[in-house]
Amino acid sequence: MNLGLEDKVVVITGAAKGMGPAIAAAFADQKSRIVIAGRDMAAIEDLAGRLRAGGSEVLTVACDVTKDSDTFAMAEQATRRFGRIDVLANVAGGTGPVGATSWATSQVEFDQIVELNLTGCFNTMRAVLPGMIERRYGKIVNVGGTFGMRGRAGRMAYSASKWGLRGVTKSAALEAGPFNVNVNCVAPGMVDGPRFRTKVIPDIMRKKGLTEDEAVESLASEYALRRISTDIDVANGCLFLASDVSRQITGIDLPIDGGWAML
């Protein structure tokens, strides 16, 4: 199926780490023009080099999404280079404390993850929405999480940030809808990768006395499909919501979790 993303200008935050490279590569495969925004410029330039080697047109921008001055400067640079922004994929985010109860989570830890996962998306949306509204076209895809749809012990701060992002997404969808701008969330469950293997799995191993393979299997058993999601699964969800194939869908949370949050 042709998703119609060729030559679309796609801004991706947090593209250099975690699920980001797979999401950026997915848009590159669709022949989109890509803006990679983030803080780790060494990692960003490495990713950009690989995408350019495949024929993609890529702009890299240093941007701390928790600073609104950075996000507005990023939107200005992207618009100056490409003339517009068609898609914003808010991938930048973090895990926050893993395994800590709410009473063992410090205010600093709580504030840091909420600022990154929630305020960061708010800032980038504020930066790109005026241009989308003026042109009467735009797609915003926020990367939420299934812990923003169901609670999870030991992940209170992260869960709070993702629940908040759902509210931001739904309100923005109502506000921007009359201007032909879609605002949605993809909500990954557990996604295999470095963070999963170095933070989540060790916590389960410690608590349950399991090996790494047993800990992964323990988590997979909670899902209807009995498997952990991959970054490609999440990337495909982002492509769908960024395309006009989903033109009549806005304000939703799309769980990509093998069957957990909604079952």
SS3 224: coil
Whether residue 154 is found in the same domain as residue 174: yes
CA-CA distance, 47 to 70, in Å (whole number)? 21
Which residue stretches of the chain have pLDDT < 50? none
CA-CA distance, 117 to 121, in Å (whole number)? 7
What's the total number of domains in the chain?
Answer: 2
Asked if the structure places residue 108 within a domain, the reply is: yes
Q: Give the model's pLDDT for residue 188.
A: 97
Whether residue 209 is found in the same domain as residue 166: no
Whether residue 32 is found in the same domain as residue 82: yes
Whether residue 64 is found in the same domain as residue 140: yes
CA-CA distance, 212 to 218, in Å (whole number)? 10
Asked if the structure places residue 35 within a domain, the reply is: yes
Whether residue 222 is found in the same domain as residue 239: no
Asked if the structure places residue 163 within a domain, the reply is: yes
Q: Which amino acid is at 151?
A: G
Relative to beta strand 138-143, strand 87-90 is: parallel
Whether residue 134 is found in the same domain as residue 207: no
Q: Give the model's pLDDT for residue 2.
A: 80
Whether residue 110 is found in the same domain as residue 148: yes
Q: Give the model's pLDDT for residue 195.
A: 86
Asked if the structure places residue 50 within a domain, the reply is: yes
Total number of residues shown for the chain: 263
- For residue 185, give its domain range: 9-190+230-256
Q: Give the HSE-up count for residue 190: Cα atoms under 13 Å, Cβ half-sphere.
A: 24
Which of 158, 165, 204, 257 is labelled catalytic? Answer: 158
Q: From the DSSP assignment, how many helices (H) and strands (E) are in the chain?
A: 10, 7
Q: What is the pTM of this model?
A: 0.95
Whether residue 113 is found in the same domain as residue 237: yes
| CB-count exposure of residue 151 (10 Å: 0-12, 13-18, 19+) | exposed
Whether residue 150 is found in the same domain as residue 46: yes
Q: DSSP secondary-structure letter at 191?
A: B
Q: Give the model's pLDDT for residue 8.
A: 98
Asked if the structure places residue 1 within a domain, the reply is: no
Asked if the structure places residue 262 within a domain, the reply is: no
Q: How many angstroms separate the most distant Cα atoms in the chain?
A: 56
For residue 137, indicate whether it is catalytic.
no
Cβ atoms of residues 32 and 110 within 8 Å: no
Strand partners, 141: 89, 184
Q: Give the model's pLDDT for residue 56.
A: 97
Whether residue 42 is found in the same domain as residue 79: yes
CA-CA distance, 7 to 12, in Å (whole number)? 15
The 3-state secondary structure of 14-57, one letter per residue: CCCCCCHHHHHHHHHHCCCEEEEEECCHHHHHHHHHHHHHCCCC
Tell me, what CATH number does 114's domain have?
3.40.50.720
State the alpha helices, DSSP H only, in 83-119: 107-114
Whether residue 62 is found in the same domain as residue 167: yes
Asked if the structure places residue 102 within a domain, the reply is: yes
Whether residue 132 is found in the same domain as residue 203: no
Asked if the structure places residue 168 within a domain, the reply is: yes
